[in-house]
Every structure is written in C-alpha cells, then in structure tokens.
Amino acid sequence: MTFGRVLVGTTSPARTLSITNPNTSVLTVTSISVTAPFGLAGNSCGSSISAGGTCQVSLTFNPTTDTNALGTNVTGRVTIVDNGKTASQTVALSGTAYGTPTSTGPVVSFVSPTSGQTLSGSTVVALSFSSLPSQTNPGSVWWTQLSVDGAPVLSGYNNLPLDTTTISNGSHSLRVDGYAFNGTASIGNATVNVAVSNTGSSPTVVVTPSPTVAPTPTVAPTPTATRTSASTPTATATVHATPTATAAACVAITSPAPNATVNGIVAINTNDGCSGNWFESLYVDGALVADFATGQIMFTSPSVANGVHTIKVTSQSINPGSVVLGSASETVNVQQGSATATTKAATATPTAKPSATPTPAGHYSMMGPGATLPSESTCVAAVNASPLPENAPWNQNDGTGYNYNKPPPSGVPSYFYANAPCCNELPHADFATVDGNYSGSTDDLIRITACKWGIDEDYVRAQAWIEDGWHQDCAAAHGGTGCRVGGDLNSPAGDPSGLVATSITPGGIFSALDGYGNPGGPTDHWDSWSMLQTKVYYEWMTWPMLQDSTSFGLDFRFAEMRGCVNGDQYSYYNSQSSSQGTDYQNAVNAARSNPNGASAVSGWTNLQYLSYGCIDTHFSGDWFSGSADSYLNEFIDRLSTAPWPGGLR
C-alpha cells in the first residue's frame, strides 16, 4: 500500500485496508500494529472476525524528516497477529516524505551584499533560503521582494539586480521579504545596512514607500493558457479569459507615453501591483496579441497599419482559469518609415544568388541572466521568414508516416504545469510557457527554441547531436519496427512510486513507460526520451508529449537551461554542496555584470562559463565548478566541428 508524497509534519489522508477471514470458523485477532511513521487511524476488526467476514483498518502516513532534495522514500508495514495458520500477516507500506515543516534557519537571508558594505552602480542581491521552493510547502519561499528604506523596488526570486544610481548616496537599509507560492503575506525577512556611493551628483528623487501597491511575484515566465494542437505553428491561446472592465487600478503602462509615435518592436513597460498576478496579456485594438511575462511585453508594431491604435495590458491570474485582475490602456501612433523617424534610410540590398540551402536570417546567440526574451509567436514568425530544409528526415517520417516535428497531438495537460520539473530543481514558474506549439524542419524547431529561450542555436544543435544524433523517432510506437530515440534501458529499473496521483500516475505510480516502443519484456522500459534524452523516469510529467513532439522536447530542455542561466537553480546546487552553490552563484553574478569578461577557465568568458555549466548539468546532475568532464569536452568539440545533419552554424 502506497501513500504517495506527503509533506513532512503533516498527516496523509487515511487509506483503508480490508481484512477477510476465508475460514469457516471465527478468526481471533490478537493485535494489529503499524510501524512508524505510519499510523493506525481506525480499526473495525476488534478481537475477532466472523467466518467469511471482513473488517477494515484505516492507515495514515505521518513523515517527520526528509533528508533528500528529491524526497525521501519511507517504508513500513502493518502486522496482523491472529490464530490462523501462519499466526501473522504483514502488508508492506510505502510513502515519500518531502519538505521541511519548520525552518532550521532563517527563511531567507542575504549572501551579498553584507552589512556595512559600500555599493555603487549596478549590483546583484544574492540570497539563500532555508528550504527549496515548493508550491505545496507554505514554509518555503517561492518569490521575494526587495525594499530600500521600506520602499519596495523590485521582486523576483534570487540574484535581484539593484541599480544603486537610483538611490541617493549615504546609508540605506535593504530588506528582503520571502513569500510562499501565491502568497501575499511575508513568511520571513532579512535586513542589511549598506552605504551607497556613486560619483557625480546624487539622484534628486528617491523611491518612497507605496503602501497601496500589493507585493506581486514577477519571476514567472509567461504562463500558457489551454491550447489545442495545430499543424500551423501559432502561439495564440485558444482558451483565454475575456477581458472585462475592472475597477482595479493595480496595473499601469509606464512607457511608451500616451499618444507617443512608435515603430519597430516596442517594449511596453508596466508597473503591475495586482495581487495574484502571474502574467500579462497584450491587446491591440481589442484583439489579443499574446501573453507575456510580467513587465516583458513586446509590441511588434509593423504588424498593424500606420495610424493611431489602442494598446491594452491586462494583469492575469494563474492558469488554468486565468482571470483579469486589472487593466490599463492608452493610444499610440504607429508610423513605420515616417518623416519623423530618425533612423537612416536603408540602402538597397543586392539579391542573393539562388542556393539549394537557404541561409538563416541571423544567428541566435546566447543571452545572459535576466535577459528580456521575445515571445514564442515573434520567434515563430522570424524563423518562418527564412525556413530551412529538413536535414533529419526521420523526425518528419519515422517510416510509418508519423511526424514528430509538430506540437503535442493532445496538447499539454494540466499535470505538466502543476508538477514540472522533478525534484524541486527549479521553480514551476520557469516552465509556464513550455508548450512545443510550433512545427517545421528540425533546424527550424532548434532556431525557434533558441530564440524563445535566449540560447545560442549551436548550443542546442550540439547538445541534441551528442545526446541522440538528432533522432526523435520511435516507429515501434506507431505500428512500425525499431525505436531509435529511447535510451537508458531499465536505468533505473522498476516504476517510480510515491508520486502525486494524476491521470498518468494512478495510485502515485508511473508505469506508462513499461513496454513502450517494444524495449523487450512488458515491464522493461527506456527511461530517457526525446532528441535531448530527458530522463522521463524522473520527469514523468512530460509524458507522452516528450516522445510525441520534437518541439516539446526542445522547449522543455531549454526552459530548464534558461532557468539555470537566470540563477534559479541556486537552492538545488547548494543542497548538493555549499561549494557548488557558491560557484554557481558567483558564475551567475559574473555573467550578469560582465558577460564578456575572462572567467576562471582560460579562454572562456563569464557567460560561457555559466552556459557550459548549465549544459553539463543535464548530463551530471551537479554543478561542474569549472571542471570539464568528457561530456562537456565532447560538447565543446562539436561546437567547433558541427557534425550534425546539415552542418549549419
């Protein structure tokens, strides 16, 4: 009998065990005992069970400790002693303990700056936490808010960028408050006193407290409303809350100014203080354009005609069932190539000579921590403007006619967004926009993914090559023979248990991999899937999308890498060892403040050091701390030789 995952310090719902006496005489029950931390919550058996009769005992799981970041598997048993033939019977019990009920240290504390430190220019506020972020543990920090002298200035999770030039020179108090998932009340705070010293005149305006604006998390990438699959790539949600008039004045557009003349791609900056905010949506002339991470809206003005247009931003709650929390609107004057434009007129471009292989419009390069990323729809449009041919044809037809290079056929279920990723490695919010909702050649899918997550496109190509040779095909799953994409046969063996119960984990057990793609026996299974060989044994919530869709496999893997680059994996690495956590934190800070500067490894920039570490962790599960292993050496070699299909770079 399994109880699934239960938070330390709490008691699971009771489960019922039925005991039947198959004999023709009364069975005397001497005792019923349960090993801790399992408990006996009820017993209808008494001291005897009538001939052919049945009684029930109720059992619970009450975990008290968790010693593993992945959760601790706990086993026990219930023993029934009676006067039957065997004198006693036992039933095995199991469950997974996770989380910490109370902090053994500060909920949140400063790593840097330290008290008494003098700050200037831009600095990064680094934090540490007493537990890993968890949606279900009310004692864990999910997002933080930084205040200067009592005035909230920004929110996020960790590695908060603070521009001290907006603060007057002198002594100031920095305070960080930690909030639980969807929390609006601080569950803990820390304070340091610092000095600010910037050359030149001090700012004349200092931020002042704004008590009417409720704290709101801004760390979440754009969540995805429920979507349906389509053969044509589109990032438009098919189910979306209809904007309605609201009296809430909790969101405002701060730029561009009302009635401003704009052209090209325009950043729509907002001040969103709506309680419960999860993402923002952009409407132009009443029509939904796309969803964006809070404060990261981009308006592609060439998509509308020159003239006056109304832009509207709505603050949205979490999916599914997102509702409008507040809205703001203004008019702007779109003028592409107008007389008021200050940019130099473009000169005529010679027509390129015909070529059998189209040339990409541009190379997507690595973007640093906290970079503002384009929307999925923007990336799809850009790549579709210069599509590349298919250099891995097995992904578009595995021999049975099945095409993997399309969105997941049945969409992305809610259990993915509620549980991704495994093991508290990263916040759930980092995967809120993963949908694989684009199609095309394998190279095009790689470029869309690189654009969407700010990853160098050759990093994507190289890792996909060393993981599985750009293969996403399993003909045996579609009526054919052979399965090229499955990996790590029975490693680990058995079915993971103690999981949250969903439609693919009934009873908290994930067995969907058993026999899939004909790995051998009916209980054999390949544990790793997709062109990136993600270990589905642990990332069970990615199934079956990870096998059915090349684009989903790419989308998931590089959402994971973006979270690593942004600094969101500190708690996980620090739980492995403090030295890993420290080196990772330093790498993020260095890549943020000086991406092109020299790192501790000769020939690598700070951004390369961070990026290579985030590549390597997909293989090792640890932070590399600058020590390249065989996997990373192979990755770097593949970057220089480009052995992948087509060889484009």
Side-chain half-sphere of 595: how many Cα atoms within 13 Å?
13
* Per-residue pLDDT, 330: 94
pTM, two decimal places: 0.50
| CB 227 within 8 Å of CB 412 | yes
Do 553 and 468 sit in the same domain of this protein? yes
384 belongs to a structural domain: yes
Do 184 and 234 sit in the same domain of this protein? no
Do 318 and 384 sit in the same domain of this protein? no
Do 461 and 334 sit in the same domain of this protein? no
42 belongs to a structural domain: yes
Do 40 and 86 sit in the same domain of this protein? yes
* Per-residue pLDDT, 318: 60
* Per-residue pLDDT, 7: 67
Residue pointed to by tokens 């990438």: 221
Residues near 151 by beta carbon (within 8 Å), at least 6 away in sequence:
207, 208, 209, 210
Instruction: Please state, in angstroms and rounded to a whole number, the distance separating the CA atoms of residues 185 and 163.
Output: 26
Instruction: Please state, in angstroms and rounded to a whole number, the distance separating the CA atoms of residues 147 and 213.
Output: 13
Question: Which amino acid, one-letter code, is at 157?
Answer: Y
- At which of 98, 124, 150 does a domain end? 98
365 belongs to a structural domain: no
Do 425 and 331 sit in the same domain of this protein? no
| CB 295 within 8 Å of CB 269 | yes
What residue numbers bound the domain in which 161 lies? 108-196
Overall residue count recorded for the chain in this entry:
649
* Per-residue pLDDT, 444: 94
Q: Is the backbone peptide bond immediately before 492 cis, with ω within 30 degrees of 0?
A: yes
120 belongs to a structural domain: yes
- Taking 70 as the pLDDT cut, the residues of the chain under it are 5, 7, 65-72, 98-105, 132-138, 155-156, 181-184, 200-248, 265, 278-279, 290-296, 318-322, 337-361
Domain count, the chain: 4
Q: Report helix, strand or coil for 609.
A: helix
506 belongs to a structural domain: no
Q: Give the CATH number for residue 58.
A: 2.60.40.10
361 belongs to a structural domain: no
Question: Which amino acid, one-letter code, is at 466?
Answer: I
Do 401 and 336 sit in the same domain of this protein? no
Do 183 and 229 sit in the same domain of this protein? no
Do 295 and 439 sit in the same domain of this protein? no
Do 230 and 274 sit in the same domain of this protein? yes
- At which of 65, 98, 131 does a domain end? 98
Compute the C-alpha angle 593/611/617, nearest 5°: 130
- At which of 181, 196, 211 does a domain end? 196
Q: Report helix, strand or coil for 55.
A: strand
462 belongs to a structural domain: yes
* Per-residue pLDDT, 94: 83
Do 91 and 114 sit in the same domain of this protein? no
30 belongs to a structural domain: yes
Do 482 and 561 sit in the same domain of this protein? yes
Q: Can you name the residues that pair with 290 across neighbouring β-strands?
A: 282
